[in-house]
Structures are given as C-alpha cells and as structure tokens.
Structure 1
Amino acid sequence: MVRRIASQVHKQASRLTRAGFLKTPPVWYQAVLDHPPLPLPPREPPSRTSYDDGAPGTPAKKGVQGPRLLPISYVEDGIRRQFFRDHPFEAFRPRSITEAGAIEDEHPTSGLQWTRLNQRSRNPSPEDAVRFALNLHQSHGLALSDAYATSVAQFRTLRAVQHVATRFAAQSAAAHGARFGPSATTRGFEAEGRVLAANELKSERMDDSARLARRRWRMIAPGTAAVRGDSSGAPVAGDDADRNAWSRGEEYVRLWREGVRVDYSPALTEPIVPVDPADYMGTRRRPIRR
C-alpha cells in the first residue's frame, strides 16, 4: 500500500474494504472513525464556531480567520504592578534566583489564619506583601483597594523597624570596637577618584607637542609674537612686552590708509638658498633654508 498521511489512512482502509481487498476491517478502524485525526490546515481547514467567527453583528476583517485570544491576567499581577510603582527602589534589593531541588512548600500560615504580615516574616519581601494583599482580598473578603492599603501599611512598618534595628545594631557594634568595611557607595567614589587621578597624571606627562596639538584651534596661539609692519610694510616680530597682544586691526587700517600693501608671505617669494649635500650625510639633519 502506498504510504499515506495519517489523516487519510482510515479513508484508504474504507476504499480497500469496499473493493474487497480487505475481508474484515482492521481492529483500529472503528476507533479511528469515532475519533478521526486532525486534518491538515492547508488541505482541510477546521470548522469555525460562532465564537471564532466573532460576535454577531461585527464585520469580519478581510483575510483574518484565526481564533481570537483571550487576555490572560491574574489579580496578583495588578497588585504587583501597583506595588513596584509605589516602591520602585524595592526592585534594586538583591535577591537569590537559584532554583532549589524541589518546589517550595506552601507556608503553613495562610487563608483565614493569615491576618498579619509579620506572621510569615519580620523582614518581608515585596512578594510577601503581594501575597498578603491577595490573601486579604480572596480569603477575608476585603476590597482590593483596602487589602492593598493594609498590606502596604504593614510592609512599610516592618521595613522601618528593620531599618532602625539595623542602624542601632551597627552603632552598638562600632561602640564596642567593631570596624566595618567601606560601603558600596564609598567603593564607587574611590574607584572614580582613582580614574580621575590617573587621567590627571597622564595629562601631566603629556609632552609639549601633544599639548599644542590639542590647543591648535585657539584664536591666539600662546607664546607667539604679534605681527607688526615696519615702514616698508614688511611684518616684524614684536618685543616681549607685545607678546600675545592684539592691535584690534589698527595697524592694518593704518597701512591700508597709507596705501602700503603688506606682504605676509615673504618666504614664498624669496629664492631658495642652496644647501650643502654634506649636511645630509651625517647624523645631523638640517631643514632647507629659505
């Protein structure tokens, strides 16, 4: 027999039985007829129900035939979302996510017996507060807003008690000679200080050429003399008193009124002085003189 798809095996057996090739139907024949296999979607799409087709009176979208999915939501999801919206910093507390060998057993205090949050722990976690609010809502019949307010109030009280007890325990230990290491905040500031000190030391060791390269886009280069024109119009270097001075363009305007055309590039117009090639044979290298 030719190899068939699972959804067509019973049809082939029916044809063989009617043709007389099979004298008696197989043992599984009646069971498959009572519970036929699921048809393949490309060949025979499943039948649609009234729920899948949409509510009566609503127009069906063109090309969309898939079933509608209901949103899956739980009451504790809304409580947890509101809790972390009111207490965002609780999400930064360290928590172990290592899975144990078995599922954690349900706490013996639950249901109607669980009336106070501290019955499970004096240092509750956010998940304990969410479960306590859910228990008050489902087991004790409180409104969800009242159950959440009661759970949050007890959670904040236990957090405050834990904080005060920890502070006093640390002060008592310090009074008896205990020495605590730096906190996470202090270690962060120390690491930042080391990075800043390393950058400052690196900048101090930087040579002059690198410093000038970093300051090459300044308006007035430090350590250069102001350019002035003499009677012939050629620029000359000023003295030490005129260094880093800016004439505000007065010298340029004066030469312009006198009709003197200043040539700021005499090195480009003067002939090149020949240099002895022997200067390049040794270790001493001198640039071309202009």
Structure 2
Amino acid sequence: MVRRIASQVHKQSSRLVRAGLIRTPPVWYQAVLEHPPIPLPPREPPSRTSYDSAPPKQRAFVSKKTPGPRPLAISYIEDDIRRQFFRDHPFESFRPRSLTEAGAIEDEHPISGLQWTRLNQRGRNPSPEDAVRFALNLHQAHGLALSDAYAASVAQFRTLRAVQHVATRFAAQQASIAHGARFGPSATARGFAAESAVLEADERRSERLDDSTRLARRRWRMVPLGNGGSSSSSSSGGEWSRGEEYVRLWREGVRPDYSPALTEPIEPTVSTDFIGTLGRRT
C-alpha cells in the first residue's frame, strides 16, 4: 500500500475492499470507520516518528584545509567622506579642474592640525578636496564625531561657494555696465545651443525625406492611356471614365488592347540621306 496521510488510510482501504483487492478487511478497519481520525489542518505536514524519518546520512571525514592568505580590505575615512560629499553635491564633479601633474608631490599646507579651524584659512574659493580634508581634520585633530565634522565642513563650503557666486555676478555686472565688457556664452548655454542645432538638423532631414516622398508620388502618379481609339472619350482627351468604358466594352465583347506599341509595326528610323550614302558606297 502506498504511504498516505493518517486521515486517508481507511478511505484507501475501503476502496481496495470494494474493488476486491483485499478479501479480508484488516482488524482495525471497523474500529477506524466507527471512530475516524481527526482531519489535519490545511497545509500542515503529517507528524513523523523516528521510525518513519530517514536515517541520518553519515558524512565522510573531510580534512579541513588551512585557508590561504587573503588580503584585508583597504578602507580610508576620506574615501567615505568624498563619496558622501559628491552624493550630496553631484554638480561639483562638473567643475573644470587641472589634472596636470607637477614635478613633485604637493607640499603640506602650513595651516593644518589644531590650527585649521575654519575652511577659509586655505582660501576663499575651496575645492571639494579641501572640504573633504577639512572634515577629516576636524574628525582626527579636533576629536569631533564624523557626522558633526562633515556637517560643519559642508556648511562652511556652501557659504564660501555662495559668497564666490555673488561676488562673481556683481563683478561681471560692473564690468559690463561700467566698462562695456561683453562675455561669451557659458558652458550651459553652449550645451543648449549644440542640442538645438542637432534637433534642427533632424527636423530638416525629416523635411527633406518628406519632400522626396512627395516628389516620388508625383513622379509615379497614374496616367490613363487610350485603348487604340475604340472609345470616343479616350480619343478625345484620354480622360478616365471610372471603369464605365471598360464595362461597356466587356458587355459588347470587345477585348481591350493595352499594348498597342507591341502590335503596331516598327517605323523606320534611318533617314533617306543615310540610305543614299550606303547605296553610293556599294
């Protein structure tokens, strides 16, 4: 008998008895029919005993090999600060910056450590790298928490950026009003101009394609031809009769001729002067 859930054993036995596969019912059959087992809750697996469960597999002895040397992960605090800074200020990565390497490594700034308490001590136009170094200096030299050091560095960096932006705007306005200076388009304006030029080129290309399509349609439009002078309308002006002339000819039993150029004799195209010249030569 196939193993089944405990609440279905007597049902399977009843089917086997009715089919005649079991001639003598088991001893427990009548008792189970009088007191059937309680149905199991839905989706609850049947209870297994130690006898029903499979014996544990004996694992073969595996010798533990000594793991090979692995390098430790290299992590710097300034990398985390720099990553968070550019996540908060993504447009700072678009600012032009000189990547020309000098002959020697950059010397350490004289203001550092405990002396560096303000970001503007290293200039009024700081770079993102200055803000990262200032946050690291506040964390290591002054003992501030990394979040507090980063917040202080970012606040001072934004303040200096705002001052630099306002000063540049007023200087440009004063130069244009007082001295008549004319400034060229900015990088943003040049980008928009290039984008507009590309869009206009695409529009002109699509217009040329449309013009070529229209010309092709005009070139290949239908020109009705006459049917050898059998109809008055075709001989008079070659106008299209909307199929009425074709139906009339079909009813009369006249077969239209669509290729008069193939049935008519070919006219001589050689001139008489050329024929006379050939006669004199012979």
Which bracket does the TM-score occupy, shorter chain normalised?
Answer: 0.5 to 0.7
SS at match of 1:183: coil
State the Cα distance separating 1:167 from its structure 2 match.
Answer: 0.2
* 1:241-286 CA distance string (max 9 Å, x none): x9xxxx9xx94699679957997963785457355257xx9xxxxx
Q: Aligned AA for 1:215?
A: T
Within 5 Å, give how 1:82-121 maps onto structure 2.
82-121=84-123
RMSD: 5.1
Match of 1:221 among 204, 218, 227: 218
State the Cα distance separating 1:225 from its structure 2 match.
Answer: 5.3
Q: Aligned AA for 1:221?
A: R
Q: 2:87 and 2:249 mapped to 1: Cα distance?
A: 78
Give aligned-pair identity as a percent: 55
SS at match of 2:218: coil
Q: 2:195 and 2:93 mapped to 1: Cα distance?
A: 25
Q: Aligned AA for 1:178?
A: G
Match of 1:276 among 269, 274, 282: 269
Task: Kindly indicate whether residue 133 of structure 2 is the aligned counterpart of residue 131 of structure 1.
Answer: yes
Seen in structure 2, the aligned counterparts of structure 1 residues 229 and 149 have a Cα distance that, compared at 3 Å, is farther
State the Cα distance separating 1:80 from its structure 2 match.
Answer: 0.8
SS at match of 2:100: coil
Instruction: Give the unaligned 5+ runs of structure 2.
Output: 1-61, 275-282
Q: 1:59 and 1:258 mapped to 2: Cα distance?
A: 102
State the match for 1:72 in structure 2: 74
Q: 2:80 and 2:63 mapped to 1: Cα distance?
A: 31
State the Cα distance separating 1:216 from its structure 2 match.
Answer: 7.3
Decide whether the 8 Å contact of 1:133 with 1:147 is kept in 2.
yes
State the match for 2:259 in structure 1: 266
State the Cα distance separating 1:168 from its structure 2 match.
Answer: 0.6
TM-score normalised per structure 2: 0.54
The structure whose residues are more often helix, as a share, is: 2
TM-score normalised per structure 1: 0.52
Q: 1:103 and 1:66 mapped to 2: Cα distance?
A: 37
- How many residues end up aligned between the 2 structures? 205
State the match for 1:161 in structure 2: 163
Q: Larger Rg: 1 or 2?
A: 2
Q: Which has the higher contact order (CA 8 A, sep 6+)?
A: 2
Q: 1:58 and 1:178 mapped to 2: Cα distance?
A: 86
Match of 1:171 among 168, 173, 183: 173
Q: Aligned AA for 1:266?
A: S
Instruction: Give the unaligned 5+ runs of structure 1.
Output: 1-56, 282-290
Seen in structure 2, the aligned counterparts of structure 1 residues 59 and 197 have a Cα distance that, compared at 3 Å, is same
